[in-house]
Structure 1
Amino acid sequence: MSVHRFRKFTLSMAMLLFPVTIWYFSPYLIFMAAMEHIINGSFITFTLMFILGMFFGRLWCGFFCPTGGMSECFESFSPKNPKQGFRNYLKYGIWFIWISGIIVCHIFGKGDYSIQPFFMTDHGISISNIYSYIIYYGIIILFLIPAIIHGKRANCHYICWMAPFMILGYRFGKFLHLPQIKIKTKKENCISCRQCEKSCPMSINISEEISKGEIKTAECILCGECISSCKNKVLDCRITNK
C-alpha cells in the first residue's frame, strides 16, 4: 500500500470513528474537568500531541486527525487554496485564550486531583445519546463552513485548537536537538513544475520552501503528498536532529 493510500485510509477511519472519539479532542470538556481538578481524556490527548510533536511535528494532522479527514472530504465543495498570511495566526490567538481559561479553571477548581480518561463518557464512547449528536453535527458544520468559504483545510489553517500543541512541541523538540521527521529538499533537482503544490492539501508554497533546504513552515502536516507527486526526487522525508 502506498503512503498516499495509507494516509487516505487512516484519515477515513479516524473520521468514521469520530462519534466515538470526539470527547477526547473536546476543547470544552477539559474546562468542566478542570473545575473539578480532573485530568480528563482531552487533557491527556493534548499533552500527548505536544510530546509527540517534539518528534513528529504535525504528522497527526496528515494521517490521523478526524477533522482533517473531514476537511479533505470537504475539498470537493471548494478546492481553492485558502489565503495565507495573518489569518494563519488566528489559531494561536484562539489557543492562547483557551489555554488561559483552562489554567484559571484549575486555579479556582475544587477537590483533589484525579485522572479520569473517560470523564463524562458512557463506556468510553463520546456520542452515546441523541442530544450529543447535536454537538457532533454542530462541529461538522463548524468545519464545513470555513472549507466552503476559504478552501482546502481552511480549518487547519485558521481555527484548529489542536495544531498549536504540535507546532509548539515541534519547536521545543528542535530547540532540544531531538531527532525529528522533516521534509528535506534538493533545490538543484527542481524544474519548477509546481506539481508538489497542486498535490499539497495544505496549499503550501512549496517552491518557496525548496530554496530553504527543508520545508520549514508550521503549516506542513508531513503528509508526504508533495514527495509522492515529485518525479525529480526534489523532496525527501528524513529523520534528523539538524
Structure 2
Amino acid sequence: MLRKKSTRQNIRRGIILMMFILFPLTYNFLSPYIIIHGASQGVVNGSFIMFAGLFVSSLVFGRAWCAWGCPAAGMQEALFLAQNKTVHPRKIDWIKWVIWVVWIGIIVVSVVMAGGYRKVDFFHLVRDDFAANAGAESLIRWLMMYSIVTVTIAVMALTMGKRGFCHAACWMAPFMILGRKLRNRMPWWSLRLKADPSACTDCNSCVRNCPMSLDVNALVHAPSMEHSECILCGNCADSCSKNVIQLEWSAGK
C-alpha cells in the first residue's frame, strides 16, 4: 500500500519539476508585474485571468495548485536536498499578506488611473517578449523580472527552510486561501483531508513528511484537518502506514 502511495508522490513531484522546467514559457501568465502593466493599460491580461482562475479553482481544489501545478513548488522541493529545515509558519506567514495587500493596492490604483479595464488580451506583453523580432529591451526586461523571481524563490527556500517562499512571499497563495475559506462555508463536494484519530499511533511520520512544515498530527486529533497553509499534496496520507489520513472528495462545511 505504501509503495502505491509513494507512486502518487513521485508523479506529483515529477509534474511540479516539469512545471518548473517550463517556467520560462509560463512565467508571463503568473507574473506579479505583468498584471500591473496590464492594469495600467486597462487590459485584462493572462496574469489577471490566471489569478482569477486560481481563486475559482480553490473553491473545489483548495490549494492543490501549490502541490500539483506550481513551478515554484518544483524548484523548492528540488532544493529539499540542500535545505530540509522545518519552517515555523506562524512566524512568517503574515509577510505574504502584507506583500499581497500592497500589490493588490497597486493594481487597483493602476486600473483607476487607466480609467478602468477596457479590453481583454490574454497574451498582453507575451507577444513582445517571445516574438521572433523581439527587441533587446523586451528581452532584458523579461530576463530581469524572471531572474528576480527565481532567485528570490531559491534564496528564501534555502535560508528559511522548506517552501520558505510559499510561506513568506507567494503572491498567488492568498487568492487560494481566501477561496478555500469561502469553500469551507459551503456544503459542496471538494478535495479534502479526512482522518481517523482512533487509528493514530502518534508516530509523527505525517509531520516529518509535510512539505509545508505543519503539525499534521495535531490536525489529525482536531475536529477537522483544516489549515490555511495545507496544500493538499497528500504526503501525510501517503506516509502513514496505518492509513489514518485520506485525501478524498467529500462534502461538508
Which TM-score band applies after superposition, normalised by the shorter structure? over 0.9
With over 3 angstroms needed to count, the CA separation of the structure-2 counterparts of 1:112 and 1:7, relative to structure 1, is: closer
Aligned to 1:48: 53
Q: Does 1:133 align with 2:138?
A: no
Q: CA deviation at 1:133?
A: 2.4
Aligned with 1:230 (options 221, 233, 240): 240
Aligned to 1:82: 87
Aligned with 2:221 (options 207, 211, 225): 211
Aligned with 1:63 (options 64, 68, 72): 68
- Structure 1: gaps spanning 5 or more residues: none
Paired AA for residue 105 in structure 1: S
Paired AA for residue 195 in structure 1: S
Contact kept in structure 1, 2:44 and 2:117, CA below 8 Å: no
Greater CA deviation, 228-237 or 91-100? 91-100
Cα distance in 1, alignment partners of residues 76 and 43 from structure 2: 31
Larger helix percent? 2
Superimposed CA distance per residue, residues 49-84 of structure 1 (whole angstroms, 9 cap, x where no aligned partner): 000001101000001100111111122221110122
| TM-score, reference length from structure 2 | 0.90
Aligned to 2:44: 39
Aligned to 1:119: 124
Identical-residue share of aligned pairs (%): 30
Aligned to 1:181, what secondary structure does the other structure show?
Answer: strand
Q: CA deviation at 1:124?
A: 8.3
| TM-score, reference length from structure 1 | 0.94
Aligned to 2:152: 142
Cα distance in 2, alignment partners of residues 155 and 109 from structure 1: 32
Paired AA for residue 185 in structure 2: F
Q: Does 1:23 align with 2:33?
A: no
The aligned length equals 241
- Structure 2: gaps spanning 5 or more residues: none
Paired AA for residue 170 in structure 2: C
Aligned to 1:122, what secondary structure does the other structure show?
Answer: helix
Aligned to 1:175, what secondary structure does the other structure show?
Answer: coil
Paired AA for residue 124 in structure 2: F
Q: CA deviation at 1:146?
A: 1.2
Q: CA deviation at 1:111?
A: 7.3
Cα distance in 2, alignment partners of residues 165 and 179 from structure 1: 20
Once superposed, what is the RMSD of the aligned Cα atoms? 1.9
Superimposed CA distance per residue, residues 84-141 of structure 1 (whole angstroms, 9 cap, x where no aligned partner): 2141111112111111211111111147611100000128859x76422232222121
Q: CA deviation at 1:213?
A: 4.0
